[in-house]
Amino acid sequence: MTIADQLPVLPIILPLVLAPFAILLRNGRAAHVFAVVVCGAAFAFCAMLLARVTAEGVISYALGDWAPPIGIEYRVDLANALVMLLVSGVATLAAAFSYASIRTEIDDRQLPLFYAAFMICMTGLLGVTVTGDAFNVFVFLEISSLSTYALVALGARVDRRALTAAFNYLVMGTLGATFFVIGLGLIYQATGTLNMADIRAQLSAGPPGAMPNSMVEAAFAFILVGMGLKAAAFPMHLWMPNAYAYAPSAVSAFIAAASTKVAVYVLIRFTFTIFGSDFDFIDAMLTYVLTPIALAGMFFASIVAVFQEDVKRMLAYSSVGQIGYMLLGISFGTEAGLQASLIHIFNHGLMKSALFMAVACVMLRLGVHTCSGFHGLTKRMPFTAAAFIFSGLSLVGVPLTVGFVSKWYLLQAAFDAGRPWAGFLIVASSLIAVVYVGRVIELILLRDPPSEGLLANDVDGNPVREAPLSMLIPMWVLVGANIYFGLRTDLTAEIAGRAAAALMGGAQ
């Protein structure tokens, strides 16, 4: 067999097997280089997978040559190939970005452990995305979650509140996983299988629109709550602001772009691949449950973001609002809505990771991530300031950025679904984003830097200077991606459109 035949499993096996070697290196710099190489290789494999799926169609890989549904299947289509590309790409850039930042926030002796946990987290997220086995989703979800709790807790050297943030994250994440696995148990009881495609076949065997029994409806309710907790959907988001605010800055840049997006993807996969929109109770759930949750998140979380002094907390609440957009697209129950959600999953990962990286640069030089550190930033750290401004404008949805592309497709989907009121609410909530992003941009552009006090100089007492190139280059790669995919809208839109068509057709 050739490497091409093993492509679906390589992005999982490679970081999972090699992560312990980062600890054995016992050197922070060596572990950093090693993690960048491993994450970069995983990204290359994911890019090859996306290209192959785009050209050839769905790839099915049976682990150990045990054919599904008895054996575990990795099944790659356009939807999960796009999410895998996002996760591995952001992981590679965050790993490259991290060294200078993370050395100031955690103990040097913990650096090899940090990079090992980082690679395991990426492994779990990629595994959740690629597997075609429902129970494997739970296994990989816990792999990614356990490593994420440890990564968040490492921020305790700078702020001891990282420990309570990690504990709260652990409690809420465990509750979400418990709900999810109960749902899986009910599905297995009703169908006798855990292979996603086989579950779909079992559920579709009855009369159109009919379910075998109410157990399946209860299963979906448990899965919805479990994934809602993991995705930080309003009002199940309370773990997120502290986790993002007190985690090491490079960790925030990664998990903000990847972990909640994977949870939203899982919700999409279970809703449309396993259950399917042709069942009556799914349509009712989308209309009467998911739509209110999405709209509440879009507005309430965005309003809370306006009043945050901590920029990382502001961006965390912003993420809750942006997840609302993704859920709103899903709630339309249409191909156009699903396409818009997949586009926004990808685009939001790009913009939010770039924003957290800009905050990490400020944290490196000034030791704070509050609004006070952004006063007159253009005169002190011009490249970091420009990166934050461009990414912030993308978050708002300014034309020529990926944020505008997402909002445009969401608006189209709203009108196509016969819900013009939803389109007006999308615009209204975007105006709130103008307020909280514009507030920070005003500090960057129009305020003068402090001339005295702790923030007059950097953390070493020297004049504030720009972040090192090792941080600027990955950050600006993401900023460039925000602009590039904002101009080349056909790339993500075509892939997301084809993926949505397959998902709505019940295909995996």
- Say if CB 199 and CB 134 are below 8 A apart: yes
Q: Output the six-digit token pair for 428.
A: 């209204």
Pick the residue with more confidence: 449 or 303? 303
What SS3 state is found at 60? Answer: strand
Tell me how crowded residue 68 is: count the other CB atoms within 10 A of its CB. Answer: 21
What SS3 state is found at 75? Answer: strand
State how far Cα 452 lies from the chain centre.
39
CA distance 99 to 473: 13
pLDDT at residue 209 is higher than 50: no
Domain ranges for the chain: 3-504
Average the pLDDT over 246-256 and give the result: 89
Q: Output the six-digit token pair for 462.
A: 């020297």
317-372 pLDDT, tens digit each: 999 999 999 999 888 888 888 999 999 999 999 999 999 999 999 888 888 888 88
Q: Output the six-digit token pair for 223.
A: 């899965």
CA distance 176 to 424: 32
pLDDT band at 508 (very low <50, low <70, confident <90, very high): very low
State how far Cα 431 lies from the chain centre.
23
Average the pLDDT over 48-69 and give the result: 82
Quick check: bond before 235 cis, omega within 30? yes
Per-residue model confidence (pLDDT) at position 157 = 83
Short-list 107, 147, 108, CA closest to 124: 147
**Which residues fall within 8 angstroms of residue 156, CB to CB, at 6 or more apart?**
162, 163, 246
b/e burial code for range 424-459 (CB count within 10 A of at least 16 → b): ebbeebbebbbebbebbbebbeebebbeeeebeebe
**Which residues fall within 8 angstroms of residue 378, CB to CB, at 6 or more apart?**
385, 386, 444, 445
Q: Where are the alpha helices (DSSP H) in 270-334?
A: 280-285, 291-296, 302-306, 311-331
State how far Cα 232 lies from the chain centre.
11
Please name the helix (run of DSSP H) or strand (run of DSSP E) that holds residue 50, with its range, or none. helix 28-56
Tell me how crowded residue 403 is: count the other CB atoms within 10 A of its CB. Answer: 27
Largest distance between two CA atoms of the chain = 74
Average the pLDDT over 287-313 and give the result: 89
State how far Cα 474 lies from the chain centre.
18
Whole-number Cα distances in Å, 179 to 25, 36, 49, 137, 224 = 39, 35, 32, 13, 8
CA distance 230 to 333: 22
Per-residue model confidence (pLDDT) at position 85 = 93
CA distance 222 to 353: 30
Per-residue model confidence (pLDDT) at position 207 = 55
Choice among 128-137, 164-173, 190-199, 439-448 with the minimum mean pLDDT: 190-199
Short-list 164, 283, 158, CA closest to 220: 283
What SS3 state is found at 427? Answer: helix
405-447 pLDDT, tens digit each: 988 999 999 988 888 888 889 989 888 989 999 999 988 888 8
Q: Rounded to two decimals, what is the model's pTM?
A: 0.90
267-283 pLDDT, tens digit each: 998 888 888 766 777 77
Choice among 284-288, 429-433, 502-506 with the minimum mean pLDDT: 502-506
What SS3 state is found at 59? Answer: strand
Side chain identity at 198, as an amino acid letter?
D
Choice among 189-203, 435-449, 452-466 with the minimum mean pLDDT: 452-466
Q: Where are the alpha helices (DSSP H) in 154-269?
A: 161-191, 196-203, 214-231, 240-246, 249-269
Dihedral sign, CA of 146, 148, 149, 153?
A: positive
Whole-number Cα distances in Å, 289 to 116, 146, 210, 267, 284 = 39, 29, 20, 14, 8
Q: Which residue has the tokens 């005003």?
A: 442
81-129 pLDDT, tens digit each: 999 999 999 999 999 998 888 888 888 788 889 999 999 999 999 999 9
Average the pLDDT over 64-73 and give the result: 76
Side chain identity at 402, as an amino acid letter?
V
pLDDT band at 212 (very low <50, low <70, confident <90, very high): low
Per-residue model confidence (pLDDT) at position 181 = 92
Angle, CA 91 vertex, CA 361 and CA 474 arms, to 5° = 40
468-481 pLDDT, tens digit each: 898 999 999 999 99
CA distance 271 to 356: 31
How many residues in the chain?
508
Choice among 98-112, 205-219, 247-261, 492-506 with the minimum mean pLDDT: 205-219
Pick the residue with more confidence: 287 or 351? 351
CA distance 479 to 75: 31
Per-residue model confidence (pLDDT) at position 467 = 83
Angle, CA 164 vertex, CA 163 and CA 165 arms, to 5° = 90
Pick the residue with more confidence: 151 or 283? 151
